[in-house]
Amino acid sequence: MTGRFISFEGIDGAGKSTHIQAVADWFRARGDDVQLSREPGGTPLAESLRSLVLNEPMGSLTELLLMFAGRRDHVETVIRPALAAGRTLLCDRFTDASFAYQGGGRGLPLPVLETLADWVQEDTEPELTLWFDLPSAQAAARRAGAREADRIEQQDLDFFDRVRGAYAARAAQAPQRIVRIDASGSVDEVGAQVLAVLRQRYSS
Ligand SMILES: Nc1ncnc2c1ncn2[C@@H]1O[C@H](COP(=O)(O)OP(=O)(O)O)[C@@H](O)[C@H]1O
Ligand SMILES: Cc1cn([C@H]2C[C@H](O)[C@@H](COP(=O)(O)OP(=O)(O)O)O2)c(=O)[nH]c1=O
C-alpha cells in the first residue's frame, strides 16, 4: 500500500498554514487517512533541531546541514512509515525549501544541495507540491501583522526575493509536481485555487 505525499511551500507569510487544514479536510472527506507534519521538525529530534536553527546564530552551511539532518530523521521515522501505511501525508515544507532558502536565499551551491537531497530522501518525493507564490513585500506585511520574526524571517526583502526566485526555478524544472498558487488574493480566492487543483488531480 502506498500513500500520498503532498508538500506545501512558499516564502514566510504566503499562507501555507492557513490552507493546509482545508486540504486535510478535503482528503478526509474522500475517506483518506490524513496525517499532517512539518519541516523543519516533524519528529522529536527534528523539532529540537528546528528550535536551534530558528533561534541560534549560525553559518549558512551549518543551517543547511541541520535542515537535512532533521529531514533524514523525519523521512525515516515519519514520512516513509506513513506512506507505507497508505496515509495521505501533508507536509508544511520539504526539500524545495532548502533549495529556496539555503540555495536561493543564502547562495549555497546547488550541486551540494542535490547531493544531500539524493542521500537524505532517496526515492521519497512529494507527488504534488503546492507553491504559494506572493511578492516578498506583501508576505512581509502579512507576517508583520501576525507574529514575531524568527532568525530566518528577520532577513530583508532581497533575501526573500531570492528565495521566491529559487522556488520559481524549481517549479520550472518540475512543472508536473510543483503547482503555483497565486497567493496574493483573499483567503477565499486562494482557497478556491487550491481546491481546483485538488479536484483536477484527484476527483475521478
Ligand atoms: N490570502 C490572505 N490574505 C490576507 N492575509 C492572509 C492571507 N492568507 C493568510 N493570511 C494571513 O497572513 C499571515 C501569514 O499566513 P500563514 O498561513 O501563517 O503563512 P505561512 O504559513 O505561509 O507562513 C496570517 O496572519 C494569516 O492569517
Ligand atoms: C524546511 C526548511 C525551512 N526553512 C525555513 C523557512 C522558514 O523561514 C523556517 C520555518 O518554516 P515554517 O515552519 O514554515 O515557519 P512558520 O512556522 O514560522 O510559518 O524555516 C529553511 O530555511 N530551509 C528548509 O529546508
Question: Model-level pTM?
Answer: 0.98
Contact 19, 182 (CB under 8 A): no
158 is in an annotated binding site: no
Give pLDDT tens digits along the chain (204 positions): 699 999 999 999 999 999 999 999 999 999 999 999 999 999 999 999 999 999 999 999 999 999 999 999 999 999 999 999 999 999 999 999 999 999 999 999 999 999 999 999 999 999 999 999 999 999 999 999 888 999 999 999 999 999 999 999 999 999 999 999 999 999 999 999 999 999 999 987
7 is in an annotated binding site: no
Using CA atoms, how far apart are residues 148 and 14, in angstroms rounded to an integer? 16
The best mutation among 20, 65, 91, 93 to test binding of ligand 2, ranked by most ligand atoms within 8 Å of the C-beta, falls on: 93
Question: Whose alpha carbon is nearest atom 8 of ligand 1?
Answer: 15
**CB of 187 sitting under 6 A from ligand 1:** yes
The best mutation among 8, 9, 12, 18 to test binding of ligand 1, ranked by most ligand atoms within 8 Å of the C-beta, falls on: 18
**CB of 8 sitting under 6 A from ligand 2:** no
10 is in an annotated binding site: yes
**CB of 87 sitting under 6 A from ligand 2:** no
Using CA atoms, how far apart are residues 169 and 197, in angstroms rounded to an integer? 20
Cell of 19: 490552507
Please identify which residue in the block is written with the cell numbers 483573499: 186
Q: Give the ipTM.
A: 0.97
**CB of 93 sitting under 6 A from ligand 1:** no
Contact 135, 87 (CB under 8 A): no
Cell of 158: 532581497
- Nearest ligand atom owner, CA of 134: 1
